Structure 1
């Protein structure tokens, strides 16, 4: 990719160039990934080491009970992994209606937190699957940095501390939460030490007994017992049956580059739909931060969400195929719905914002990993198995209770998922060339972050750190618009006059996502990479 190297936005960060790169939302995690590559490991070893460390140092976003997805360039081709969990077999509409009653529409109520929001955690199984196919180093080495920091403790980073304190009022009564996440009777403050010896114990157990112990052994039994003792229905059988899936990626060509996403049950298709709609406009006619450039992207994202939340679910339940949703003629017809003079409000529902970590790594052999891991809404379910340090996601809240919905709750089914890693390739003389592994974390901000950063890089040639630093907008569930405080006030006023309902935002860490980017500097692999880390988190690009 060709970039303009002058950044137009205030930033304390500059792009990093190196032949081996690891970038995450926390410096200790990035360094753990770099350590694996220095020890002779590859980008997959680095990704798992970083994922484990992030569970320790950024528990506000992920934990041992997370889900994950990954896209891997192995040096020759791309591979997609879906390690999102499935619901307990006992779940169905009657289960929730019997326990929680019905709402005004007659649909069963669903809890946002607690054991009845937890699906089988997929992250550890995802690590196993990645390592079996690509890993080089033993897990004792890969998990070593996370074990050390969990035992010795670490000083809590500023943005992590901010999110931690914000979660306490809602989650402190969750089973096991206070015992594990409130060591001072409150959230740790910036710079205070947080130790997690229980997590170190779990990591050591996984190294000794094998990672399937999380699903079939001592750890699995502890999870099932905790569920039984706190009103849940997840069983040891639910855990034992779980396996991740290798999946065929979905993609969309945009300005000569192929943008790849994990297929449903994730929302990555939303980014591709929006790009396919925007592709029908000549964006070079509109300056990068102009009102019309932003308006077209916002309206495309609204149209994409209208389809995503109508049709996306576990692929076994979808009546509309992803290929139909990405059909060029269909997207051209959707683009015609955009009015360049006014905002519109397609009828669709959007999910809640969430807590997620995205990381990416690349090594000098050419392997690149795009990896995302999440507990969903901050700490997730608020449920912790304290003796093992396992905090559990609340992905079950992503199901619908509408019996007519493709995403209706059923046993052994994957819910609609928000987390989405991404990858860009290009065809050069008939050969697929890797260009960039990237992702933007943050609930329903994720496809919107993909759209905005890809357009900045491919339409306007902004280098990745500039694309990260640029002010963002976010379409909300009610189709109002959030904009960052650094957004151009003139453009904001003009968008408002076009009918966009703009709200103010005080918490950019939660609302506008955070990205990590690694791109190839040229077709010559020995030239290495350019990498960027979003300033909206505590992150770092580490390289050598």
Structure 2
């Protein structure tokens, strides 16, 4: 990982003839490459990368988090998505979140983690290697330790005040008496053992075994909500992804409550403008894009948590044309990217995608292999270190995705039991 005080970094171009891994940390990418070198495919490599990222970027994603995985299976020429976003616990009632602190950090904030189920489902369907072998690099990094980068140390120190609120969290990541520094060796033996249990015993080790017992025990003792019933009720969802065409390119992404419909609508609106002719980063292009994003954001807030949402209408070219017609040379007022019960004068109003329905109708990493299989993953703990809660004896940092839900009862994305939140991840 290169850093330059002058803002310029020179690195050789990374190339590969039989596969490629792209991730936010070189050790995680190396974990995926190791799977390819051992004869594995892109599906084996992507899970090895995911597991390694849990170790070397523990504040971003991991077993205690959630996400989406988008596959291209070369032999069949098909796209599929695994939605492994968990839901709120059955006890997650809105009145419990009566302060910002309860809503953003701590044991009230996690969704049921979906990552273990999603990763192992991908390996079972498309992988060629045993989970324990796929997890081997992550186990090695966690057990023997790895040197912190500048960025690792920065984020650990940034969240240190929150980590210290939960004694076990502080013991895992914080050096006594000083800040983390680049070059420090971070060892996570409990996390290594957790990966070893899941690799040997499968998904039930997490949702029904000793790991589940530890999660539930911590929650019960510390005012949390996740129960055995919540963990055992976790379900992943296989999807055929949505797609749209943009200037000759076919783009695929997950369906709602993922926010891909907003991105598709923005592209469909922009398709009606002469983007090339107006010039790169010209005032006109930027104005059109910003206004298109305001419109698609308003539509996403109003419609993507519907049951069912008007997905075909939201991503239709006709709906985009109707919304494009509302863009003038004047900027419109927007209420922002989250639900807001207070209305502003002249605020952008959501459109009516139902009229356009047709009846037939927060880490990202990627892997490709020599057979042409490709996998893209976006997954997260939510905020930095998620809830900042690390379950004792497991090394698991739990997510805080409930913070991305609203405390306004009228919001479609309001906190409620057994509910999946709207989610911006869109691989």
Identify the structure with the greater strand proportion: 1
Question: Does 2:332 match 1:344?
Answer: yes
How far apart are residue 292 of structure 1 and its match?
A: 2.4
Match runs of 1:15-164 below 5 Å: 15-19=13-17, 20-75=19-74, 76-93=77-94, 97=95, 99-101=96-98, 111-164=103-156
Segments of structure 2 that go 5 or more residues without pairing to the other structure are: 1-6, 340-361
CA distance in 2, matches of 1:114, 1:80: 30
How far apart are residue 194 of structure 1 and its match?
A: 0.7
CA distance in 1, matches of 2:163, 2:151: 18
Aligned length: 396
Task: Output one character per residue of 1:239-260: Cα deviation in whole Å (capped at 9) or x when no partner.
Answer: 0111210012112110111111
Match of 1:385 among 365, 374, 391: 391
Conserved 8 A contact 1:22-1:360: yes
Match of 1:250 among 225, 235, 242: 242
Task: Output one character per residue of 1:41-93: Cα deviation in whole Å (capped at 9) or x when no partner.
Answer: 00010000000000110112113201021110010110111000011112233
Match of 2:366 among 356, 360, 373: 360
Conserved 8 A contact 1:319-1:406: no
CA distance in 1, matches of 2:138, 2:99: 44
Task: Output one character per residue of 1:207-233: Cα deviation in whole Å (capped at 9) or x when no partner.
Answer: 222232110111111111111111012
Conserved 8 A contact 1:318-1:406: no
Aligned to 1:209: 201
Q: TM-score, normalised by structure 2?
A: 0.88
Q: Secondary structure of 2:104's partner?
A: coil
Match runs of 1:65-464 below 5 Å: 65-75=64-74, 76-93=77-94, 97=95, 99-101=96-98, 111-174=103-166, 176-313=168-305, 317-318=306-307, 320-339=309-328, 341-350=329-338, 356-421=362-427
How far apart are residue 171 of structure 1 and its match?
A: 3.7
Task: Output one character per residue of 1:400-441: Cα deviation in whole Å (capped at 9) or x when no partner.
Answer: 3333332232222111122221xxxxxxxxxxxxxxxxxxxx
More off after superposition, 412-421 vs 12-21: 12-21
CA distance in 2, matches of 1:284, 1:295: 14
CA distance in 1, matches of 2:314, 2:408: 22
Conserved 8 A contact 1:83-1:245: yes
Task: Output one character per residue of 1:82-124: Cα deviation in whole Å (capped at 9) or x when no partner.
Answer: 000011112233xxx2x45489xxxxx9611111111100111
Conserved 8 A contact 2:107-2:222: yes
Q: Aligned pair in 2 of structure 1 residues 281, 15: CA closer, same or farther (>3 Å)?
A: farther
Conserved 8 A contact 2:157-2:179: yes
Q: Aligned pair in 2 of structure 1 residues 332, 207: CA closer, same or farther (>3 Å)?
A: same
Q: Aligned pair in 2 of structure 1 residues 319, 400: CA closer, same or farther (>3 Å)?
A: farther
Conserved 8 A contact 1:64-1:389: no
More off after superposition, 294-303 vs 60-69: 294-303
Q: Aligned pair in 2 of structure 1 residues 319, 373: CA closer, same or farther (>3 Å)?
A: closer
Segments of structure 1 that go 5 or more residues without pairing to the other structure are: 1-8, 104-108, 422-544
How far apart are residue 305 of structure 1 and its match?
A: 1.3
CA RMSD of aligned residues (A): 2.0
Aligned to 2:4: none
CA distance in 1, matches of 2:335, 2:184: 46
Q: Secondary structure of 1:184's partner?
A: coil
